[in-house]
Amino acid sequence: MNDPHLLLLFWAAVARAPHLHADHLRTAAGHAGLPLAAAPEALWRQPAATLRALGLPPAASALLADPPLALLEADLLWLQRAGLRLLNCVDDDYPVQLAAIPAAPAALYVRGEVAALSQPQVALVGSRHPSGAGRETAREFAYELSRLGLTITSGLAQGIDTACHQGALDAGGLTIAVCGTGLDRCYPSHNAALAERISRQGACVSEFPPGSDPLPANFPRRNRLISGLARGTVVIEAARESGSLITARRALEQNREVFAVPGSIRNPTVRGCLDLIREGAHLVTCAADIATQLGFSIEIFSESKQGFTKPLFAAHADGWLDKDCEMLLDALGFEPATVDELVVRTGWGAGPIGAKLLVLELAQQIESQPGGLYCRVR
């Protein structure tokens, strides 16, 4: 296919073809006696029956046989105006790490620095509704791993994902957001400013064409890309039904390392992590544990920490909290608790406890959660 514009149209069609991935293209080209790079010549506007016989899914065969040219032209115009790139699976810039997984995407929409996709990466994922301690752990891990030189990959969701992206950005590192929608929209919408920062300091990536809504079926597909881009996946606070566990399972299927941050056996938001550890995931309590397992030396890690130019979080309030506040922190521990539970643990009245909880919240030592719960942050 010598016409550059026709070639672009072919890959725009591939990106929109339902259920089509790189393995399909490789198989089809092979059946036609051609290398994968020759897939455009072998597949563009061939009869649907021919494409099905070559191993392509029926819906993808129908689209490639009779491509919606007006829609594809609109896609190319959007890419140009928005400054995005459609990265196909035969492009030299296609990340080798991702190409190695089963059913790798045939094409990716990329906003930002394409080269970031080929950098050594760690995926950090977890609950959309984490505790304060879980959110701080996520941000701290991302910050420290970024200072080590690792790119942080996550899914732009609220909660742990957001904290991980922010930690990497605050460290001046690269971060990649793998999205479950088209890149013409942001999900969740309140992360639009964060997505813009990521595109300037890394990349936003999706295999879904423009106009794609955040459908539930999209996110398991997205999760396999999060783990597929990374050398290892770290799960921070995940309940047993968490989508983060799908990412961990995909990482195992892709022969990648899986890490989990432990927590209290009484905390339902970490039971998924505890299950992963029981099943063989690496238990980690600090970023150095992850770096070591992935082959990065602690010496380099320690040197990178010496270069920190700003504190990761606001200064602790330790030192000016009175003794009763410190006792209440000890009573709270690191599990969410209600005022009534704290009354039983301390023997104090609800009024004094409420007043001290307010002091601790203002000091950023705890945070309130739905259901009248309080959770220690530090």
Any domain includes 65: yes
The model's pLDDT over 59-99, given as tens digits with 9 standing for 90+, comes to: 999 999 999 999 999 999 999 999 999 999 999 999 999 99
Any domain includes 94: no
Which domain, by its residues, includes 335?
Answer: 323-376
**Across 283-298, average pLDDT:** 85
Average the pLDDT over each of 30-44, 183-197, 361-375 and give the range with the smallest value: 361-375
**Across 104-129, average pLDDT:** 97
Any domain includes 108: no
- In the predicted structure, residue 314 carries a pLDDT above the cut 80: no
Residue 265: which pLDDT band, with cuts at 50, 70 and 90?
confident
Same domain, 332 and 280: no
Same domain, 201 and 300: yes
**305 burial via Cβ count (<10 Å: 0-12, 13-18, 19+):** middle
Backbone angles phi, psi at 125, to 5 degrees: -140, 165
Any domain includes 103: no
- pLDDT of res. 36: 87
Any domain includes 102: no
Higher pLDDT, 333 or 57: 57
Same domain, 26 and 171: no
- pLDDT of res. 305: 43
The model's pLDDT over 134-187, given as tens digits with 9 standing for 90+, comes to: 999 999 999 999 999 999 999 999 999 999 999 999 999 999 999 999 999 999
**Across 353-363, average pLDDT:** 84
Same domain, 174 and 250: yes
Any domain includes 295: yes
Distance CA 128, CA 161 (A): 8
**Across 214-243, average pLDDT:** 95
User: What's the mean per-residue pLDDT of the chain?
Assistant: 90
CATH of the domain at 337: 1.10.10.10
Any domain includes 107: no
The model's pLDDT over 185-225, given as tens digits with 9 standing for 90+, comes to: 999 999 999 999 999 999 999 999 999 999 999 999 999 99
**Across 311-319, average pLDDT:** 41
The rounded percent of the chain whose pLDDT value lies above 90 is: 68
Same domain, 184 and 286: yes
Residue 320: which pLDDT band, with cuts at 50, 70 and 90?
low
